[in-house]
A and B are shown apart, each in its own frame.
Chain A
Amino acid sequence: MSRPVQYNTKLKMVEAPEAMMGDGFMATSFEKVVGLARKNSIWPLPFATSCCGIEFMATMASHYDLSRFGSERVGFSPRQCDLLMVMGTISKKMGPVLRQVYLQMAEPRWVLSVGACACSGGIFDTYSVLQGIDQIIPVDVYVPGCPPRPEAILDGFLKIQELVGQESLRRRNGDKYKELLASYGIQ
């Protein structure tokens, strides 16, 4: 006799987008479907340098689970990942490495800057620390905190999900985006 399911009974499903439904077909806009698929299956690249990396490990562990939101597989190869999560202090020696990793990522790509040091240099206003990664790469969402609580990291991740879900499919080829990249010196 099978045992009744005890866990995961209150599962929250993702809502289908607005669509014209019929017998065996569903017509909706392509962007909505692609956005829905992309946002619930983001593959992050954790670029963990210091203390925020340990809070990320706590976010990945079973208490605050990041894989609930679709990021079961964290990858370490930039070619395969969508989201670059920069966690921790980036020093001037590390800046070129970060830029190279960003350049190796394929479009569409997003950047989440976690922690005060990655957002703006944090408490380290010194000669050797890069005062914010947005001096070298464009950033989508900033998560402040030193270190931010795992709930804050998850909040930042949810905001990235919103951005991913609502992004227009033509954005990456448009002029505005090219201008943004050019301002960072990226072709």
Chain B
Amino acid sequence: MPLNNDTIQQILTQKFGEVLSDWQEPYGMLTFTAPKEMNLKVLQFLYDEPSLNFRFLTDLQAVHYPDKKGQELAVVYHLHNLVDNVRIRLKVFTDITKPDVFSATALYQSANFMERETYDFFGVNFTGHPNLIRILNVDEMDYFPMRKEFPLEDQTRVDKDDEMFGR
């Protein structure tokens, strides 16, 4: 049975049922959402199941949706099956007041830096991560810069004329 989006969806709904929601295929890549408590179980199943064989974590990062109350931060995993050449995307939503998500470092070593970057930019707290500290910004920074409410520019700059350049 060739591995395409329908078969993947079938196998996943067989195992997990209705917990996985919001099945979409933007630009041909199968995308679905899992509740945040189940993210490791889904990733482990995608890794172990011989017919699925998603053993390469291509990307891990987050998106901030300030309008979706209760589900502001989305952690997005891109997985790749190198043998059959299929990619899928898994999304996990979490509340911004309690942004705890299980860390995938036990399964994929590549998630280490990527989760630190997501913590640095958005404040997602990955429980179980061996070393969750800031990676790209200065260590003393006390806010999470990629969230939508924070500005891009350096606020302490005095020599740039706002009327001419605008912010």
Contact = CB atoms under 8 A, between A and B. Distances in A.
Contacts of A126: 152-154
Contacts of B159: 131
B160 A92 contact: no
Interface in B113-167: 136-138, 145, 150-155, 157, 159-160
Contacts of A92: 138
Contacts of B154: 125-127, 129, 131
A170 interface: no
A125 B138 contact: no
A131 B157 contact: yes
Nearest to A128: B137
A92 B155 CA distance: 13
A92 B134 CA distance: 14
Interface size class of A (residues with CB under 8 A): under 10
A139 to B, nearest CB: 15
B138 A93 contact: yes
26 contacts: A92-B138, A93-B137, A93-B138, A125-B152, A125-B153, A125-B154, A125-B157, A125-B160, A126-B152, A126-B153, A126-B154, A127-B145, A127-B150, A127-B151, A127-B152, A127-B153, A127-B154, A127-B155, A128-B136, A128-B137, A128-B138, A128-B145, A129-B154, A131-B154, A131-B157, A131-B159
Given A127-B145, A127-B154, 9 more contacts: A92-B138, A125-B152, A126-B152, A126-B153, A126-B154, A127-B150, A128-B136, A131-B157, A131-B159
A131 B157 CA distance: 8
Interface size class of B (residues with CB under 8 A): 10 to 19
A127 B151 CA distance: 8
Nearest to A91: B138
Interface of B: 136-138, 145, 150-155, 157, 159-160
Contacts of B145: 127-128
Interface string A123-166: 00111110100000000000000000000000000000000000
Contacts of B157: 125, 131
A116 to B, nearest CB: 14
Most buried by B among A93, A126, A127, A128: A127
A183 to B, nearest CB: 15
Contacts of A125: 152-154, 157, 160
A129 B137 CA distance: 10
B136 to A, nearest CB: 8
Nearest to A93: B138
A131 B160 CA distance: 10
A125 B155 CA distance: 10
Contacts of A129: 154
Contacts of B136: 128
Nearest to B165: A125
B158 to A, nearest CB: 10
Most buried by A among B150, B153, B159: B153
Interface in A82-128: 92-93, 125-128
Contacts of B137: 93, 128
A129 B154 CA distance: 8
Contacts of B151: 127
B123 to A, nearest CB: 16
A185 B152 CA distance: 28
